[in-house]
Amino acid sequence: MSGENRELYHHGHHFLRDRGDLQFHDDLSSFIPQRPSGATLHDLQGLDLQTASQFMSFNDCLHGSSDYGLLAKAFDMLYSSPELFCPRDVGPVKQELVVDTNIGANLNVSTGGGGGGGGGGTTPATPNSSVSLSSTEAAGEEDSGRCKKDQQKVEEEEKQQTKEGEDGGDKSKKVNKPRKKGEKRQRAPRFAFMTRSEVDHLEDGYRWRKYGQKAVKNSPYPRSYYRCTTQKCSVKKRVERSYQDPTVVITTYEGQHTHQSPATIRGSTHMLAPPPTVPTSFRQDLLVHQMPQLNAGSQQVQGDANPNMYLPTLPAHLQQLQFPDYGLLQDMVPSFIHNKQP
DNA sequence: CGGCTTTGACCCGCGC
DNA sequence: GCGCGGGTCAAAGCCG
């Protein structure tokens, strides 16, 4: 903690290297356990990631099938824990996964909002990214009857809504979506993660349109609302900065993409070796930022940065490099979120 | 001109 | 019932 957090980043989105005293506001904060510094996913979940982290980079993890499996496994484990995902009496469930990456060095996956990159023993000069993930509201589905129930409710409602829409729906005016009496508005499973980034809106391979912005209570930073621009895709995401640590961006995805990431579609083949000219940190930042999309829920931050800012500006060869990663991440997310998907 | 952002107004749920 | 806060809409403006 201390001064490291305040380090300024020269451009784009670089992650903080130290999650130290990071705290999250609102409901999110309560779900982010403060893990002891140095604790890894392995420590918390019995996952053998610690060892792996010493030998492979985040990229490696994503690229190599075995490594990828490892990470995915880690995610799956988190999401398959009934206690964590769908506590019986606790109401909304939020789960967080923190992924710290030390550029070109270690992969450090851990749960909790505690310290991160700092623990990796990185030198101050080593860029480090840190991402926290958390799911909410029955995101884990099926592990508890209650969650399942909620899920079904949501589905039913969605069906009904689409039906109404087709039937010459009364889109009459504004927000007047006819809603069953006494039935609460159900939300799609949400998935939140935190990223230390200078920019609010992180590139994740999808195209987003901002449709609203609201001041957040007790926070000087507004919350932005985004919607996937793809037709018939109702995925939304919210992006806000932590008022505790302005360098932290909290992105919440809601819903699932009904389509492939534009980035994935464009890129096709498999991981090419990155040209020596490509800064590892840059790629990692991108990768980490894509984590959210994995979950397919959706949400991200945006500010001065446009969701599309990277792809169009990247050299063609670079773009090709990224897309495969997108695909990988995307593949991960479903299992990540859905818990069990072959 | 199309797509996106901004922004004020409105709706809704919840707590008091 | 009322007020508050979160979420969404949609008109207006901006930009490439």
Identify nearest nucleotide to residue A222 by CA to C1′ distance: C6
CB proximity A181–strand C (7 Å threshold): no
d(CA A113, CA A200): 19
pLDDT value of residue A250:
86
| Nearest-angstrom CA–CA distance, A122 and A93 | 33
- pLDDT averaged over every residue in chain A: 48
- Nucleotides of chain C touched by protein CB (<7 A): 4-10
The torsion region of residue A148 among left (phi > 0), alpha (psi -120 to 50) and beta comes to alpha
**CATH topology for the A190-259 domain:** N-terminal domain of TfIIb (2.20.25)
The answer to whether A250 and A241 have CB atoms below 8 angstroms apart is yes
- Asked whether residue A78 carries a pLDDT value surpassing 60, the answer given is no
Cα separations (Å) of A291 from A158, A171, A248? Answer: 26, 35, 15
Report the first-to-last Cα separation within chain A, whole angstroms: 40
Task: Dump pLDDT digits (tens) for A142-190.
Answer: 333 333 444 444 444 444 444 443 443 333 334 444 444 445 566 667 7
> How confident is the model over A113-133, as pLDDT tens digits?
333 333 333 333 333 445 566
Residues 218-257 of A with CB under 7 A from strand C: 223, 225, 227, 236, 238
| Average of per-residue pLDDT across A294-301 | 36
β-strands A248-254, A236-241 pairing? antiparallel
Q: Which two tokens stand for residue A198?
A: 């200078």
Contact of A214 with A207, CB cutoff 8 Å = no
User: Which of A38-47, A63-72, A252-261, A301-310: highest mean pLDDT?
Assistant: A252-261
Q: What is the pLDDT of residue A176?
A: 42
Nucleotide nearest to A176 (CA to C1'): B11
Amino acid identity for residue A240 in this structure: E
Helix (H) or strand (E) segment spanning residue A239: strand A236-241
Nearest residue (CA) to C1' of B3: A209
Task: Please report which confidence band the pLDDT of residue A202 belongs to, taking 50, 70 and 90 as the band edges.
Answer: confident
pTM exceeds 0.75 for this model: no
Question: Who's near A326: CB < 8 A, 6+ residues apart?
Answer: A205, A261, A263, A264, A267, A290, A293
The residue assigned the tokens 């992924």 is A99
pLDDT at A135: 57
Residue A209 has pLDDT above 70, yes or no: yes
* Full DSSP string of A171-205: --SSS-----TTPPPP---EEEEEEE-SSSS---S
| A8 CB-to-strand C distance under 7 Å | no
Q: Are A92 and A137 in contact (CB under 8 A)?
A: yes
Read off the pLDDT of residues A219-259 as tens digits, 9 standing for 90 and up. Answer: 888 899 998 888 778 788 888 888 778 888 888 888 877 77
Question: pLDDT value at position A161?
Answer: 40
Indicate the domain borders of chain A: 190-259
* Residue A212, CB, strand C, below 7 Å: yes
Write down the pLDDT at residue A216. 86
Nearest DNA or RNA nucleotide to A234 (CA to C1'): C8
If you ran DSSP here, which 8-state letter would residue A36 be given?
P
